[in-house]
Every structure is written in structure tokens, then in C-alpha cells.
Structure 1
């Protein structure tokens, strides 16, 4: 069994008008390579016609911003003329690469009808050789994501990225990554296998789980594992939702400033200049 290196309770931070729970980075843990950032937004209850989740146009370079939408509706638009609507269960996997400008807002349908919105935004680093690739956009619908049940249907697992249980997730990645969405009913149990070379972490969105038949952990907690075993077991003490993320670490220098993730400070300055010069495209709403 893998043991826990760090137990991270997410902290609330303000992003514009939206409050999010930040589990990564922290003062103690700057990254769990290749994962750089994990924000949990919601659950927010929105009344019909009420203003909701709205992240204005902003640039990115050198990494992949990924959104797992658990409930609600989001509208994505970017400077590469990509536009898409995410609904409950959908995943948006965007490659910023050499540079892109995008916005994420509650979808018109969701704003009209109201409801609950909740999701995870994840930043995944790109290796140096791929940081300047052409930007890309994967609009992954819930119907495309393989899922199965275990433990007499008390466990439901969805495979977003990577190879697992003889299946392959729909997300195309630049480095080996495993992304599993796990839903446990009361007393549901599962063992999560992790490749030996992968870094791994598990974020508990809601509920309470017992890890490795030992300690229990509650919602809004990130468990960062040591690389000392073939996986870990989870057992729910109450209905729980967990996002498991694992990947081959990128052992390269890291330079980061705001929305840019590169290898040197010179490259960060170049990203800032290129954005100002319009080399990341132009966002038209």
C-alpha cells in the first residue's frame, strides 16, 4: 500500500468574484509533478437569472488547463475559435501550448434555469519539448468516458485519462497520466492500482473515506502519496466522491508566473511579451 506523504486541507481563495478551494499548490507542496494546481469550485446554488461562475478572458502558455464539471453548465470560448458547452459529467481538456486566450462562464441554459454548479480545475505541466505545441481543445462528453461498477455496485469508477482495468480513457495526453473519478456508496470499497513510477494524489470532494483500512479523511482534503507501493485502498464511511490523479513526473526546471508555466524566467518574459503583441490570438466574444 502507498503511504501518505502530505495531508492537505484545501484553503479558500478569491478569484475575481468567485471563491474556490485551493488544494494545490501550498506552502509545503508546490507541485505533485506533473500536476501544478487543483482548484475546487462550488457547490454553488444559483437561482434562475442570478449571476454565477464567470472567469473573464485570460491567457495561458506551457501547460494544460483541465476542467472536470460535476454539476451545472459551463461555456468555454477561446482565441482559436473553439467554443463548447460543458454539462454535468463532461470534461474539458485544453492544451495551452504556445499560447491561448480563453474564458469560462456559466452556460446560458444553466443561468436561465439555475441549479448547482461544481467542478475541479486542474493544471497539468507540459514537458519542455511540448510547451510550444499548437494549442488544442478536447471536449469530452460524459457518454465518451468508460465507467464500471465494483463491490456489488457500491463503487462506480469513470476513466477520463490513461489505461486502467483493460480500458483506455478518452483524453489524449502528452505524458502518461491516470485520471479516475470514483463514487463510493456507504461502505463501498476499492483498490486503486498506481504504476510504480507515477506520482499520485487523491482529492476528496465530498464524504469521508478510510484509506488503507487505517485513518479516515473528510471532504476537501488532498492526499499526496509517497512512491512506495502499488496503490491504495479506499472505503467509504458515507457516500463519497474522489478524484484520483497520477502521472509520470516531469523532472525538468520549472518557472511559473501567473498563467504561464515554462522552464526559465526568460521564457516567462517572452510569454508576457507575446501576449501583449497579440501572438496568442485575439478573443472575440
Structure 2
């Protein structure tokens, strides 16, 4: 039932740890998901720097930010300023190009507190790579949920279990948040042959689960075989993200850019370096400069590690 197990690669970004799951050497993408990070868990002392990601650009993808604990303040060059809190969704489609920052609100910084969440990048289909950028925020009550006998489920994006989330996705996918009490059982959407999806995976954000007689713990992704129909059992109270969808084809990834051609990546680099991509009006005093990296991109390199300048 299990095709591959991926261990998140942890990196300290100066008091805040990120666990990078995708991309990985043996598995570049799961469906259209080309990037997956676990943010934290962490607890910040009052006044300590928490999330402080300066303005930076994206092309060719949608970002999905989802929190279990804490708060992040999003600002972008479309004019949106939007805090995101647990259970809510920030869905930002870069398309032809967008610039945003992710910060901790000064008041929240003064108070301190916990931070734990996920950030995913979803590659856009070829025909949608250059669509106009956009931003959508969904409140905690805006997505379908289910709760029964120790299982809480929220459909964060896409379609699954006969429900459809309000997130404006551009290709077939699902992204589900499970909170599972010890001993609770659940199952991901079925394989494509039975009305589900071609590619599926489970990420353990907290706790431990059993799949096909094997135990998996926090920070591990279980990539399921195409025809697998597993039962997932919580070995202790657990937080699990189930995700996947239909492939959109190979993509190049370099820094914050995703594209189907090297020429498009080179153009994005040149645009950012030359200042042709505007900064958010409410956060325009600083930005992340273009990294000094080799000019040639690779296909979703597994070697990419979080850097202090990386978006979270």
C-alpha cells in the first residue's frame, strides 16, 4: 500500500524550525503539490521575533497557508492585508507574478505565543501558468467539516468525501485536515480507479499513526501506492494532513518560482532583480534580494533547504 516514506528535513531559521517535506529526490510532487513545509511547532517568548518574512515574489503556483496554532499577517502587492488564524485558509495564486510578505503582527509579537501550521505550493496547470494573480481568504467556518467519535475533519481545499471546499483551485486536488483521537480510524479518498485521485499522501503533523501495519510519527509523509485503499489508525492523539490530486506535468522550481520552462524562470529572475515587480504598499521598506544561485534550475530539487531568506 505504501510507495514511499519521506522524513521532513528540519532547519532552524533562527529560533523557528521548518520541516521541508516536498520536493524530495525520489518524489518531486504529489499530484499538483510541489512544495510542502511544516512550520513549527514553536513557542515564542513575548517580544521575540516570530514569523518575519520580507516581501518576495512568486510565479506559476498557488500558495496555501493553513495554521493549527498562532497567527500570520499576509500583505501583497494586490493590496490585500489579511491575518490568518487556525482553521482559516490563505490561498494566493501567483500566476504571472505576485509579491507578498508574511509577518507576525506587532501586537502578537509583544504577547508571544505558539506557532504551528503548514504551507503548500500547488503548481498551476500549463494553460493557467500565466493567469492574473489573485488572493482569497476563507474563514474557519467557510470549509466543509465533519466530526464524529473522536474524528474531526476539515476539507481545506479541493474535493473529497462528496464535499467541495471554497478554495478556488485550478486543477483536481484534495487537502484534508484530520484531528484523530487515539484508536480512531479514517481513510483517505479512494484511488482514481474508484472515483478518487491518482496520487495521494498522508503527512503526520503531530502524534503517530498506523498504515498497513507500519507505524509513522510526526514529520513523516506516507506516499500511497496508486491502487491502495488503506485504513489509517491513530496510535495516539494525532494531527494528519491528507493530500493529493492529479499530476500537472513536470515543473522547474528555483527559489520562489515555479515554471514549465527555463526561459520563464530567467525572466522572473530578471524582473525581480530589476525591480519590475512592485512591493506591497503597506510593506515596501525592505525585500528579499534575488539569491546568488546557479542560473540553471533543476526539476524540483531535493537539495533545496530552507534558508533564512526563504518564505516560510
TM-score interval, smaller chain: over 0.9
**What corresponds to 1:219 in structure 2?**
218
Query: TM-score, normalization: structure 2?
Result: 0.84
Task: Decide which moves more: 67-76 or 153-162.
Answer: 153-162
Distance in 2, matches of 1:14 and 1:238, equals 27
Partner of residue 90, structure 1: 88
Does residue 270 (structure 1) correspond to residue 272 (structure 2)? The answer is no
Give the CA RMSD over aligned residues.
1.6
Answer yes or no: is 1:207 the counterpart of 2:204. Answer: no
What is the alpha-carbon distance in structure 1 between the residues aligned to residue 276 and residue 199 of structure 2? 34
Q: Contact (CA 8 Å) 1:101, 1:282: kept in 2 or not?
A: yes
Asked if structure 1 preserves the Cα contact closer than 8 Å seen for 2:31 and 2:198, the reply is no
Range with bigger deviation, 178-187 or 139-148 = 139-148
Contact 2:161 2:189 in 1 (8 A): no
| Partner SS for 1:142 | coil
Q: Deviations over 1:113-135 (max 9, x none)?
A: 22111111111101111111111
Compared with structure 1, are the counterparts of its residues 125 and 112 closer, same or farther at alpha carbon in structure 2 (3 Å cutoff)? same
Does residue 107 in structure 1 map to residue 105 in structure 2?
yes
- Native 8 Å contact 2:67 2:116 kept in 1: yes
Shift of 1:195: 4.3
Match of 2:116 in 1: 118
In 2, the alpha carbon distance for the partners of 1:177 and 1:201 equals 12
Q: Could you list the runs of 5+ residues in structure 2 that have no partner in the other structure? A: 284-312
Q: Could you tell me which of 14, 25, 31 is aligned with 1:33?
A: 31
Asked if the contact 1:194/1:246 (under 8 Å) is kept, the reply is: no
**Contact map agreement 1:159 1:181 (CA 8 A) in 2:** yes
Shift in Å, 1:17:
6.5
CA contact (8 A) 2:16 2:40 kept: no
Instruction: Find the aligned partners of 1:254 and 1:163 in 2 and give their Cα distance.
Output: 23
Which of 151, 173, 180 lines up with 1:177 in the alignment?
173
Equivalent positions of 1:1-285 (< 5 A) are 3-15=1-13, 18-150=16-148, 153-196=149-192, 197-212=197-212, 214-229=213-228, 231-251=229-249, 253-284=250-281, 285=283
* Deviation for aligned residue 1:15: 4.8
Distance of aligned partners of 1:88 and 1:187 in 2 relative to their CA distance in 1, 3 Å threshold: same
How far off its partner does 1:254 sit?
1.9
Paired with 2:248 and 2:254, the residues of 1 have a C-alpha distance of 18
Contiguous gaps of at least 5 residues in structure 1: none
Q: TM-score, normalised by structure 1?
A: 0.92
Q: Secondary structure at the match of 2:46?
A: coil
